[in-house]
Amino acid sequence: MEKINFIFGIHNHQPLGNFGWVFEEAYNHSYRPFMEILEEFPMMKVNAHFSGPLLEWIEENKPDYIDLLKSLVKNGQLEIVVAGFYEPVLAAIPKEDRIAQIELLKEYARKLGYEAKGVWLTERVWQPELVKSLKETGIEYVVVDDYHFMSAGLSKEELFWPYYTEDGGEVIAVFPIDEKLRYLIPFRPVGKTIEYLETLVDSDPSKVAVFHDDGEKFGVWPGTYEWVYEKGWLRNFFDAITSNEKINLLTYTEYLKMFTPRGLVYLPIASYFEMSEWSLPAKQAKLFVEFVKDLKKEGKFEKYRVFVRGGIWKNFFFKYPESNFMHKRMLMISKAVRNNPEARRYILKAQCNDAYWHGIFGGVYLPHLRRTIWENIIKAQSYLRPENRVIDVDFDGRKEVMLENENFIATIKPHYGGSIFELSSKRKAVNYNDVLPRRWEHYHEVPDAATPEEENNEGVTSIHEFGKAIPDEIKHELAYDWQLRGILQDHFIGVNESLDSYRLVRYHELGDFVNQAYDFKINENSVMLWRNGGIYVERKIPVRIEKNIELTKEGFLAHYRVSLETPYEVLLGVELNLAVHSVMEKPEEFETSEFEVNDPYGIGRAKIELDRKAKVWKFPIKTLSQSEAGWDFIQQGVSYTLLFPIEKELEFEIKFKEV
């Protein structure tokens, strides 16, 4: 009888730093019921990847589940597929760290009773150079999307077999995931998947259809718990697959023992189709969505989609400078602590992928995920001897000044307003300036994603198919920043401007200091910065700002001297953006010479002391991002702008003290 081989896989992951209740909910709604139902069907085989952070949580909180996994492995129902332990994008970390990450998860797989030979590629981010790293760890196959193969020029009809790929003389097998199955399972009725698989039945005994996708689709994504479990989709699916004589269920290793991959291919740098939209800069992403829609409307998408490509995953480091800075800080310390096992474990944790990018999930927009990355970078750096350096941290061709003592790390960008863009506490392991600005994203205007799937009213809606309108209450508070958000950013503001006009970016910036270059000179524990700029009113009035930033045991001390060449009544605003996550409902305006920040959810307590009274404008920085549930209007931090009236000359001090 002619058959179709079928490989079924899931990928289960929760990022480091995610809330305990999220782990608990995902476990109860997906991870636990899925495996319990699998146990009911001894003929069903699943290829499963569990990320390290999730396994560590399960081992601590649900140890019985580990026993269930061991039992399923022993029964031959479960093949363990590994990745980097802390779920890094392997292409974004050094080769030495890739090997360490994979070995850690392979070791855990051995504890489950399985010698893993395959890799689930995180976010399916492929780079040809990965072949050498994978081979070095004893990996024999890797799972990517059929989109990777189509990007290399293969037709859809050629994508029902694994292939070999090579780099530098090393060879590995590559399995293509069938995109059609990704959109059918589990969102459409079981019969639709069976019907599709039966169309693939062939006289070639090596032909195979592969499904491997997020385990969270089976109970965590909106509407799926009721559909998959309460309405019986999963039981019906397992029953239909195992009882159909035309479907031959295999694991990856079983397939490779029976058949040889079809030939040699060379895959380009790629991820899945949706990622090529998300990774584009916002304006280009909007055009990409419009382009896909136009092709669909004209009935040309299926014919030409093999040539439709957007961005690559590493574009996120261009799209989000904060992500790039965090990533390059991680790389910097990774290199420095490679021979220190304790420090290195923190850096491996700091490579967890989720906080570095953003698509349908919150990612970089979620402060608690970024906070965990920074926590581990800081802890790793704490093993090194403190030193001051002038170095291009983020590889943008312009040098930063990094001041460091036993308690703090301050990274200052002279080329961007002479402002602090990292103020890390070693005692608390927090970065006080981990604040994302308010950015326009393409989905603020384009509610529908550029998915390859057509609309369908059967089953349950995938999160990729949701159309979303921004609620009116958010629209009223929505603003987009023209600058990155640092500490000690120097504004010149008209005396008649209001807090509302300022916070909603409806005011006129009179000076040219916020994002412009300062000259600098580094001293023993401080840096002197100065700029000869101006304010622009009826004419340009030359202005000089000098600020000396000294790192102290408690935080920092900033000494300012400001002078206008011609008298003019204006407000100097020195802005401090702090990663405060205790929700602030309304903006505030007050006058003081000192105030305290109290944020039990993030940076803890800190005190700002001035040598004179100043008016303070305080407001939350809230970003609008999409998520699997709809819209997230998230507080990234709080802006504190200290306002000093000036007409000709001004000198003052700002002291930041950790409490």
* Catalytic entry in 214, 481, 628, 632: 214
The answer on pLDDT for 466 being more than 60 is: no
The answer on pLDDT for 465 being more than 80 is: no
The answer on pLDDT for 451 being more than 80 is: no
In the predicted model, what is the mean pLDDT of residues 469-497? 94
Q: Residue 459: which pLDDT band, with cuts at 50, 70 and 90? A: confident
Which uninterrupted H or E stretch holds 161?
none
Predicted confidence at residue 454, as pLDDT, reads 52
Which uninterrupted H or E stretch holds 364?
none
The answer on pLDDT for 97 being more than 60 is: yes
Residue span(s) of the chain under CATH 3.20.110.20 come to: 4-271
Say if CB 502 and CB 579 are below 8 A apart. no
Token output for 129: 């150079």
Q: What are phi and psi of 304, to 5 degrees?
A: -110, 5
Predicted confidence at residue 630, as pLDDT, reads 83
Instruction: Give which of 613, 632, 630 is closest to 622, Cα–Cα.
Output: 632
Predicted confidence at residue 453, as pLDDT, reads 57
Say if CB 205 and CB 3 are below 8 A apart. yes
* Total Cβ atoms within 10 A of residue 566: 12
* Catalytic entry in 123, 354, 400, 550: 123
In the predicted model, what is the mean pLDDT of residues 469-495? 94
Instruction: Give which of 305, 272, 348 is closest to 16, Cα–Cα.
Output: 348
pLDDT > 70 in the chain, percent: 97
* Total Cβ atoms within 10 A of residue 240: 15
What b-and-e string marks burial along 204-216, b requiring 16 or more CB atoms within 10 Å of the CB? eeebbbbbbbebb
End-to-end CA distance of the chain: 74
The answer on pLDDT for 615 being more than 90 is: yes
Active site residue 123: yes
On the 0-12 / 13-18 / 19+ scale of CB atoms within 10 A, 524 is exposed
Residues facing residue 126 across a β-bridge: 270
Say if CB 408 and CB 364 are below 8 A apart. no
Predicted confidence at residue 394, as pLDDT, reads 97
Say if CB 620 and CB 534 are below 8 A apart. no
Task: Calculate the average pLDDT of the chain.
Answer: 95
d(CA 564, CA 535): 9
Active site residue 214: yes
Q: Residue 505: which pLDDT band, with cuts at 50, 70 and 90? A: very high
The answer on pLDDT for 523 being more than 60 is: yes
Domain 471-658, what architecture? Answer: Distorted Sandwich (2.70)
Q: Residue 455: which pLDDT band, with cuts at 50, 70 and 90? A: low
Predicted confidence at residue 601, as pLDDT, reads 86
The answer on pLDDT for 456 being more than 70 is: no
Instruction: Please name the residues in contact with 36: beta carbons below 8 A apart, sequence gap of 6 or more.
Output: 68
On the 0-12 / 13-18 / 19+ scale of CB atoms within 10 A, 586 is exposed
Q: Residue 629: which pLDDT band, with cuts at 50, 70 and 90? A: confident
In the predicted model, what is the mean pLDDT of residues 290-296? 94
Q: What's the 3-state SS for 175-232?
A: EEECHHHHHHCCCCCHHHHHHHHHHCCECCCCCEEEEEEEHHHCCCCCCHHHHHHHCC
pLDDT > 90 in the chain, percent: 91
Residues facing residue 609 across a β-bridge: 594, 655
d(CA 604, CA 590): 22
In the predicted model, what is the mean pLDDT of residues 603-629? 95
Predicted confidence at residue 302, as pLDDT, reads 87
Residue ranges of alpha helices (H) inside 43-200 are 52-61, 63-74, 95-111, 130-136, 146-151, 179-184, 190-199
Predicted confidence at residue 524, as pLDDT, reads 86
Q: What interhelical angle do 341-349 and 367-381 show, nearest 10?
A: 160
Locate tokens 């994508």: which residue?
A: 159
The answer on pLDDT for 120 being more than 90 is: yes
1-16 residue pLDDT tens: 899 999 999 999 999 9
The CATH number assigned to the domain with range 4-271 reads: 3.20.110.20
Residues facing residue 550 across a β-bridge: 526, 557
Locate tokens 């059929």: which residue?
A: 146
The answer on pLDDT for 210 being more than 90 is: yes
The answer on pLDDT for 461 being more than 90 is: no
Residues facing residue 403 across a β-bridge: 410
Predicted confidence at residue 449, as pLDDT, reads 64
d(CA 204, CA 179): 21
556-584 residue pLDDT tens: 999 999 999 999 999 999 999 999 999 99
Instruction: Please name the residues in contact with 111: beta carbons below 8 A apart, sequence gap of 6 or more.
Output: none
Predicted confidence at residue 458, as pLDDT, reads 73
The answer on pLDDT for 464 being more than 70 is: no
Q: What are phi and psi of 237, to 5 degrees?
A: -70, -50
